[in-house]
Amino acid sequence: MSNARVAQEVQLVGMDISEMETLAAMHDELPFRGKQLFHWVYKQQVDSINAMNTLPSSFRDLLADEYVLHPLTLIKKTGSDLEPTQKFLLQLPYGEKIESVIMEEGKRVTLCVSTQVGCAVDCKFCATAKMGFIKNLTAGEIVDQYLLILNSINKRITNVVFMGMGEPFLNYQQVINAADLLNHKEGINLSAKRITISTVGIIPKIMRYTKEGHKYKLAISLNGSSQDQRLKIMPISKTHSMNGLIQSAWDYYYISKKLITLEYVLLAGVNDDIVDADRLMDLIGNLPCKLNLIPYNEIDGPFHRSSEEKIERFVNRLERANFTVTIRWSKGTDISGGCGQLAVLDQESCN
């Protein structure tokens, strides 16, 4: 099927159950046909409209003529030689490309999805920043990463993290819509506890997320132990300050009663000193949270991963902290599939 057709026609993946019921009614079908369609797309996860055999053949023919099922096309799959991690290159209807990653650890199979083509935040240590911002993904384009990759790996995906290309909270409503589709009990039915949305710290959107009471886990990329330090590597700190970010995390806890996760990428000579560990403990204080320390995954740039000795000293210093501390070693770094490594700089090569 040509990209031109996918771009011009309405895609079924991305519609919620009420939209599919409305679609059915528009074509003189009873509303329950829309619910059946929803089940076929998200619960049965079929690859073809013709496979939806509980729908009348006339309705299936109409759907095949006027709609397309998947907004994305799977272009390439790259496997790691070091671990069971795979990176996927997918193409959007107008030819733009994104990457997603599957990581396996025991029975846990985690999909890292992208929410934008490129990113506007410009974190200095992140490969995606080199792309600049190209466009937001629709909820359908986010969810379709799950559907296409699930069919490709023939394994149950147990967790989804919104930590791929882009800043999720700069595409807020489409991200929430996608999470709701992943979580819907009559569809994919992925537990809210197994869905994590990560943000660099867009404070008004954290406040909105808190007020709306969403059930999904929330993670904030901290990556600095002071405002000045964070500002040098994350320009977004100019408008979303460190103190404001920590206050928003406290507000989230007070209202939701849920632990927030703070992500901290360890950069050699930048934020990995014992002084930084002490400042982190003062900054976070008694906030009920989990701190994920992420040894930096190197890209072509000035930053480097901290030495194992420095990482160990940093972790040992945090033993006195009032919050939980874990080290998250990224998977798929040999295929540029680790945290901060996703980028498709040539947006024309697969058209």
Calpha distance 56→33 (Å, rounded): 9
State the catalytic residue, choosing from 112, 126, 289, 339: 339
Which secondary-structure segment (H or E) carries 197?
A: strand 195-199
Calpha distance 57→36 (Å, rounded): 14
Name the DSSP class of 235: G
> How close are the terminal C-alpha atoms of the chain, in Å?
13
Q: Which two tokens stand for residue 203?
A: 């404070």
Q: Which of 205, 204, 218, 203 is nearest to 256 (CA)?
A: 218
Identify whether the C-beta of residue 183 lies closer than 8 Å to the C-beta of residue 192: yes
Q: Which of 46, 50, 99 is nearest to 72 (CA)?
A: 99
Greatest C-alpha distance within the chain: 69
- Indicate the residue type of 325: V
DSSP tally for the chain: helices H, then strands E: 11, 14
Backbone angles phi, psi at 263, to 5 degrees: -100, 135
Q: Which two tokens stand for residue 151?
A: 């069919």
State the catalytic residue, choosing from 99, 141, 167, 263: 99
Beta strand spans in 10-62 (E): 10-11
Calpha distance 314→276 (Å, rounded): 8
Question: Does residue 105 have an active-site annotation?
Answer: no
CB-based burial label for 269 (10 Å; 0-12, 13-18, 19+): exposed
Identify whether the C-beta of residue 300 lies closer than 8 Å to the C-beta of residue 267: no
Up-side HSE of residue 214: CA atoms within 13 Å toward CB? 23
Calpha distance 253→248 (Å, rounded): 9
Question: Does residue 350 have an active-site annotation?
Answer: no
CB-based burial label for 7 (10 Å; 0-12, 13-18, 19+): middle
Residues with catalytic function: 99, 339
